[in-house]
Amino acid sequence: MPSPDAAIDTQDLGKRFGALEAVRGLRLSVDRGESFALVGPDGAGKTTTIRMLCGIMDPDQGSATVLGLDSVKKAEAIKERIGYMPQRFGLYDDLTVDENMAFYADLYQVPLATRRQKVPELLGFSNLTPFRGRLAGQLSGGMRQKLGLACALIHTPELLILDEPTCGVDPVSRREFWHILYRLLAGGMTIFVSTAYLDEAERAHRVGLMHKGRLLVADTPAAVRAQFEGQLMEVRVDDLRAGHQALEGHPQVLRVLARGDRLMVTVADRERAWPGLAAALDQAGLGGARWLAAEPSLEDLFVQIIAEQGAAA
């Protein structure tokens, strides 16, 4: 039975497209008033999951309840109570900001008195007030996403579902977008967001890592990171490629990844491992290498889980 406090609850939810099992046995619960980030690469099953939650697509197995409503039997009722922003939100480029807002207000049958209050509030909330007369097609990527969000909120939904809302948006706009989401959370809204950006997922109350249709883990970012096996060290060398070759396959190295201008090396014990790693680097002509202790990120854990699954396959 779904939890009475759950905004979203799924039981063995699954969807298949021919031979492809896009979502497999998904069990997930999201409480009211929390933010949940579903993370995974393209093809992980994030969008298919969201479409089933929104009542756009029926599952092939299992069930889902959204705001206490069955996603298949009560799909239309769910659509009235949620705000949904797909990857490509349907803004009309030849309409102004105000006209797009009016269109979605009409679509959701928002009373005139309500929209007179709501539209200025949402445009101010998203810093779009100075651009009310500008065509949507003339807005920057970040501004378009904020307008899409404002349109999705015009009917005051209880639950906001966002499918990779900041994909392709510059870092400054991404940060501004999340500031808006924080304010919505403070007002009691529940937010379910999919993203390919692991740094964004860190901002949510809880995060789920998804790969090839399966939910691998779901917990707070801190609890997820705590599942990392081994210790992580940041190694600085003059030649990144040569350093990677020298350490890859070393008996004390569990995993080595190049990240930016450094190597992220996973070992069982940093202090014990370093003399052997330093010797291997010296032998490769990379004397003077240095290291620092590093804390694993969600990306580090995700890479570790995927590598372990690949080794077990």
Residue range 276-292: average pLDDT? 94
Other C-beta atoms closer than 10 Å to the C-beta of 140 total 12
> Contact at 8 Å (CB) between 263 and 247?
yes
Beta-sheet strand order (sheet of 262-267): 253-259, 262-267, 231-236, 290-294
pTM above 0.85, yes or no: yes
Per DSSP, the three-state class of 85 is: strand
- How far is it, in rounded angstroms, from Cα 191 to Cα 164? 13
Q: Which has the minimum average pLDDT: 37-41, 79-83, 137-141, 166-170?
A: 166-170
> Where residue 313 falls among pLDDT bands split at 50, 70, 90?
very low
Q: 99-116, pLDDT tens digit by residue?
A: 999 999 999 999 999 999
Q: 292-311, pLDDT tens digit by residue?
A: 999 998 888 888 888 776 54
Give the domains, in start order, of the chain with CATH numbers. Answer: 6-225 (3.40.50.300), 231-295 (3.30.70.100)
Between β-strands 35-39 and 190-195, what pairing exists: parallel, antiparallel or unpaired? parallel
**pLDDT > 70 in the chain, percent:** 97
